[in-house]
C-alpha cells in the first residue's frame, strides 16, 4: 500500500477512536451511568472540527482526489460524492456543536437532540470513511501512476503527523480528551 494511503488509514483510526469514544459516552448518559461533561464534549468536538475537518479532508481533496479525478472516469461519481460530503463537513459538525450548546442550556431536555446530532454525524462519517477505503482506495491503486503516487506521497509525507499540529496542540488536545473521558472510554473517573 502507498505511504499516503497508509497515512489516511492511520488518520481514519484516530477519527474512529474519537467517534467510538463519543458514542460510548452518549450511550452511558442515556443509560444513566454517566453525567454529561461539557468540557469533554467541547474538547471532542474541537478535535473533530480541527483535525479531520480542517486537516484530513482538505489533504484528500487537494492531492488524492485531484489526481484520481484525472485518471479514472469510474472514480468521478464517488469523488464528487466525497467532495460534497467534505464541503458540508463543517456544517455537520456545527450541528453537533449547536445541539451540545442546547443540551448544556436546557439540561436533560436537550439530551435527545444532542444524541441525535451525534449519531447522525458519526453514521455519516463512518459511511464516508468506508466509501474512501472500499471504493476510492482500490481505484486509486488501480489507476494512479508511479508519478502520481510520488507527488501524493510527497505531499502526505511532508505533513505526516497532522494530528500533532504545528505546535503539538492537537496532540495535547487528544491527550486531554483521553485523560478526562470517563473510564473505560478514557482514563477519567468512570
Partner 1 sequence: MSNMLLEGRELHTYYGASHILHGIDFHIRQGEGIALMGRNGMGKSTLIKSMLGIVRPKHGRVLVRGDDYTKATTYRTAQQGIAYVPEGRGIFKSLTVRENLLMSARAGVDGQRNWTFDRVMETFPRLGERINNGGWQLSGGEQQMLTIGRALMTNPDLLILDEATEGLAPLIAMEIWRIVKEIRKTGIATVIVDKNHGAVTSICDRAMILVKGEVVFDGSSDEIRANPDLIQKHLGVGH
**Shortest CB 72 distance to partner 1, Å:** 20
Give the distance from CA 118 to its chain's centroid.
13
Give the distance from CA 20 to its chain's centroid.
11
Please check whether residue 132 is in contact with residue 8, taking contact to mean a CB–CB distance below 8 angstroms: yes
Question: CA nearest 114: which of 48, 46, 30?
Answer: 30
24 lines the binding site for partner 1 (CB under 8 A): yes
Q: Of these, 14, 81, 124, 139, which contacts partner 1 (CB under 8 A)?
A: 14
Question: CA nearest 33: which of 42, 41, 24?
Answer: 24
187 lines the binding site for partner 1 (CB under 8 A): yes
Q: Of these, 18, 48, 75, 79, which contacts partner 1 (CB under 8 A)?
A: 18
Q: Which stretch binds partner 1 (CB under 8 A): 26-34, 49-57, 99-107, 171-179?
A: 171-179
> Whose Cβ is closer to partner 1: residue 108's or residue 167's?
167
**Shortest CB 156 distance to partner 1, Å:** 13
> For residue 16, how many other CB atoms are within 10 A of its CB?
14
Cα maximum dimension of the chain:
56
175 lines the binding site for partner 1 (CB under 8 A): yes
The contacts of residue 169 (CB under 8 Å, 6+ apart) are none
Q: Which residues bind partner 1 (CB under 8 A)?
A: 1, 6, 9-10, 13-14, 16-18, 20-21, 24, 171, 174-175, 177-179, 181, 183-187, 190
Amino acid at each position: 500500500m502507498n505511504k499516503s494511503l497508509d497515512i489516511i488509514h492511520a488518520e481514519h483510526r484516530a477519527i474512529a477512536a474519537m467517534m467510538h469514544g463519543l458514542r460510548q459516552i452518549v450511550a452511558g448518559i442515556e443509560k444513566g451511568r454517566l453525567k454529561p461533561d461539557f468540557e469533554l464534549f467541547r474538547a471532542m468536538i474541537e478535535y473533530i472540527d480541527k483535525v479531520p475537518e480542517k486537516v484530513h479532508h482538505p489533504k484528500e481533496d487537494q492531492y488524492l482526489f485531484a489526481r484520481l479525478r484525472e485518471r479514472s472516469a469510474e472514480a468521478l461519481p464517488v469523488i464528487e460524492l466525497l467532495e460534497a460530503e467534505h464541503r458540508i463537513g463543517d456544517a455537520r459538525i456545527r450541528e453537533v456543536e449547536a445541539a451540545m450548546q442546547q443540551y448544556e442550556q436546557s439540561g436533560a431536555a436537550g439530551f435527545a437532540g444532542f444524541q441525535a446530532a451525534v449519531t447522525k454525524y458519526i453514521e455519516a462519517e463512518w459511511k464516508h470513511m468506508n466509501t474512501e477505503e472500499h471504493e476510492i482506495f482500490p481505484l486509486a491503486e488501480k489507476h494512479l501512476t508511479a508519478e502520481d503516487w510520488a507527488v501524493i506521497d510527497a505531499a502526505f509525507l511532508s505533513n505526516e503527523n497532522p494530528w500533532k499540529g504545528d505546535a503539538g496542540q492537537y496532540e495535547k488536545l487528544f491527550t486531554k480528551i483521553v485523560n478526562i473521558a470517563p473510564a473505560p472510554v478514557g482514563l477519567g473517573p468512570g
